Amino acid sequence: MVFSSLLFLLFFLPALFLCYFCIPRRFRAGRNGVLLAFSLFFYACGGVSYLPVLLCSVAVNYLCGLMAAPGRAQAVRRAGLWGAVVLGLGLLGWFKYTGFLSANLSRLGVRLDLPQIVLPIGISFFTFQGLSYVIDVYRGDAPCQRNPFYVALYVALFPQLVAGPIVRYSTVAQEITGREESLSQFSQGAVRFLFGLGKKMLLANAMGEIADAVFAQPPAFMAAATAWVGAAAYTLQIYFDFSAYSDMAIGLGRMFGFHFLENFDYPYIAQSVTEFWRRWHISLSSWFRDYVYIPLGGSRRSPARNLLNLAVVWLLTGLWHGAAWTFVLWGGWFFLLLAGERLVWGQGLARLPRIFRHGYVLLAVMASWVLFRSPDAAYAAAYFQAMLGLGGGTDGQAVYCLLQYWPEWTACLIAALPVKRWLEARLPEEGTGFAAAVRTWFPKLAALALLTLSYVKLASGSFNPFIYFQF
C-alpha cells in the first residue's frame, strides 16, 4: 500500500481517523495502540511474509536498548550496542546483499546454493532507524524506552516506515507518550500531505513516463537531445517522487501530533555538491555523518585518513541504496566530487558566478542519476556516450516529450525553486488584510484543488510508480 493509492485514501486513512480520534485524548495508550495496529496492518499489506522481519527488528532493538542503557555494567552496554549493530546489519545484509554477493562469487566460479530471497519493503529505513535508537541510548542522547510497544510504535510508525524520513528517537520520544493533537496541527498536516500527493501524482509521475520511455531504449540508437531529456526527466522524477513521499509522511505525522524533521530543502538550487547533500535526503546524510563519519574520526584526523573516512561513508551510502555495482559507482562519483571540492577546486568554485556554480551542480547530479537509473554499468556508459552525441537516431522523441509535457516541465521548474518560501516571507502571518487572507486560505484551497486533480489521476488508473520501494 502506498499513500498515493485509492485504497489508502478512501479506506485505510478514514478508518484510522475514525478509530484513533474516537478514543478520548486522555487515553494515550489506547490511541498509541490503534496507531501501532494500523501501522502493522499497513506494512502487512505490502506482504504479510515481511511482517516477522519487522517484528524481529523491533525485538532486537528493544532488548539491545535495555542492555545498552546507562547504569548497567559497561560490558553489558557494549554487548547491547554491538548486538544491535551485528544483528540489525546482519538482517539487512542477508535480505539485501546476499543475492548480490552470490552473483559476483558465481562469476569467479564459486557457487552458493541459496534460497530465493525477497527484499522486505522499507528494510533499509527501519533498520537504520532502529540502530539510531540503540546507539543514542548507549551514548545517553536518548532515554531508554522500557515499554516494548512504544519501541514498536517508534520503529513501525506507518508514515515514515516504508520510505522515511529516518526519524531519531530523541525527536519523537516525548511525543510518543505525551503529544498533543489539535485541529490546527491536523489542518497543517493535511495541507502538507495534499501538496505532497499533488507533487507525486501530477509532477513525479509525468516525469516518470518520460524517463521510462527514454531509458527503455538502447542508448546506441538514442539521439543526444533524447538522452538529455530522459536524464532531465529522471532528475526531476526522483526528486519529486521522494520529496513528495517525505511531504506526505511529515503531513501525516503532524495530523497525529508528531513533528518529523524536514528531509529536503530545495536541493536543486545548491551551489556546490557539498551543499546539495546538505539539502538532499537530510535524514540519511545526517545519519551517516553522526553514526559513521564522525565515529571514524571525521575531519579531525590526517588528510589521508579524512579521505578514507569519506570514501567509507560513500561506499556505504551507495550500497545502502541498492545491491548493484551501479550504486557503488554512484557513491564513488559523489566521493570524488566531494573530495575534489574539499581539496582541489572548492575555493575556485566559490569565486565563480552563481549561474556557473549552479550549472556545475546540476550537471554533476544529473550524471549521478543516470548511473542510479541504469540497470548496469555498461548501459550507463552507453547512455553517457549518447548524451555526448555518439549514439544514433533523431531528435523527434525529445521534441515530442518537451511539447507534450510542457505544462508539467514548467510546473516542475517552478516547484523545484523556493517560490513558496519567498511568498511566505512577504505575506503577513496575521492581520485582516488581503495579503493575510491569501496566506491563510490559498494553501488550503490549493490543497483541495490538488486533491481533486490527484483523485482524477488515481481514478483513471494512470501511471503511478514509487521509486524508493526498492530500498
Residues 6+ apart with CB under 8 A from 160: 125, 129, 166, 167, 249, 253, 260
SS3 for 224? Answer: helix
Q: What residues does each domain of the chain span?
A: 35-179, 185-459
- 3-state DSSP helix/strand/coil percent for the chain, to nearest 5? 75, 0, 25
Task: Please state, in angstroms and as integers, the Cα–Cα distance from residue 295 to each residue in 129, 135, 291, following that order.
Answer: 18, 12, 6
What local confidence, expressed as pLDDT, does residue 291 receive? 94
What local confidence, expressed as pLDDT, does residue 62 receive? 96
Dihedral angle over CA of 176, 178, 179, 183, nearest 10: 140
SS3 for 221? Answer: helix
Q: Which residue in the list 259, 281, 321, 358 is annotated as catalytic? A: 321
* Cβ-contact 450, 102 below 8 angstroms: no
Helices (H), 268-302: 273-279, 282-288
Q: What is the pLDDT along the chain (471 residues), one digit of tens a residue?
A: 788 889 999 999 999 999 999 999 889 899 999 999 999 999 998 888 889 999 999 999 999 999 999 989 999 999 999 999 999 999 999 888 888 888 888 888 888 777 777 888 889 999 999 999 999 999 999 999 999 999 999 999 999 988 879 999 988 998 998 888 999 999 999 999 999 999 999 999 999 999 999 999 999 889 999 999 999 999 999 999 999 999 999 999 999 999 999 999 999 999 999 999 999 999 999 999 999 999 988 778 888 889 999 999 999 999 999 889 999 999 999 999 999 999 999 899 999 999 999 999 999 999 999 999 999 999 999 999 999 988 777 778 889 899 999 999 999 999 999 988 888 777 766 666 777 777 777 888 999 999 999 999 888 877 777 676 655
Nearest residue to 335 (alpha-carbon basis) of 364, 363, 314: 314
Q: How far apart are the C-alpha atoms of 333 and 354, rounded to whole Å?
A: 23
Q: How many Cα neighbours within 13 Å face the side chain of 23?
A: 16
* Cβ-contact 65, 137 below 8 angstroms: yes
Residues 6+ apart with CB under 8 A from 351: none
Q: Residue 390: exposed, middle, or buried by beta-carbon count in 10 A (0-12, 13-18, 19+)?
A: middle
Q: Is 259 annotated in the active site?
A: no
Name the DSSP class of 8: I
